[in-house]
Amino acid sequence: MPKVNMKTKEYVDGKWIEIQADFRKYDDWNASLDDHAELFINGTSWDKDKYKPVIEASGYEEAAQALVTAGYATDPDYAYKLIDLIEQYDLAIYDKIDEKLLSTRKISAYGEVKDGANETVWSEPYGLVGAQKVEKISYYARDDLQLIAEAKTTDATWYQFAVDGKTIGWVKSDQIVRQ
């Protein structure tokens, strides 16, 4: 595997130091992601279960702590920094990919965004394969929403809505007040 030697900061014996270290070099982004995933799934050559607690974690907070416990990073604040990034950029939304569509039906109704609502609008109900983030529902707070479909998943009821005749996406029904 090709490598590149770079300067990096490590936290050793209670203080930050700079060292030169070898890092794997990849032909493309996907090869890097695949290798990184394999590290967590297969462990290291000296400990195949090294990252098992990360994989088995019940949520991102537990997984971040498990990374630190496994020695993935020397930064004592690594878990907190990682959790902060996940929350800041709403990355936990990508953890759920096993939602099941129970029913869908066309509807004809109107609604408005509930005061304080700020959940995400999706191209498909969240958790279904292919769901892409569209926008926060608060963006449409001043618009009249035409509710054009309703879907029930194992986790929630969703409304597909349009604004001025243009279909926007799906949002949880608790984010909308039907008129």
Whose CA is closest to 10, among 19, 24, 79, 67? 19
Active-site residue, selected from the candidate residues 13, 27, 28, 35: 35
Report phi then psi at 139, rounded to 5.
-60, -30
CB 173 within 8 A of CB 125: no
Instruction: At 55, list the tokens.
Output: 């994989």
87 is catalytic: no
10 is catalytic: yes
d(CA 58, CA 62): 7
Active-site residue, selected from the candidate residues 10, 34, 56, 174: 10
d(CA 178, CA 144): 11
Q: Catalytic amino acids?
A: 10, 35
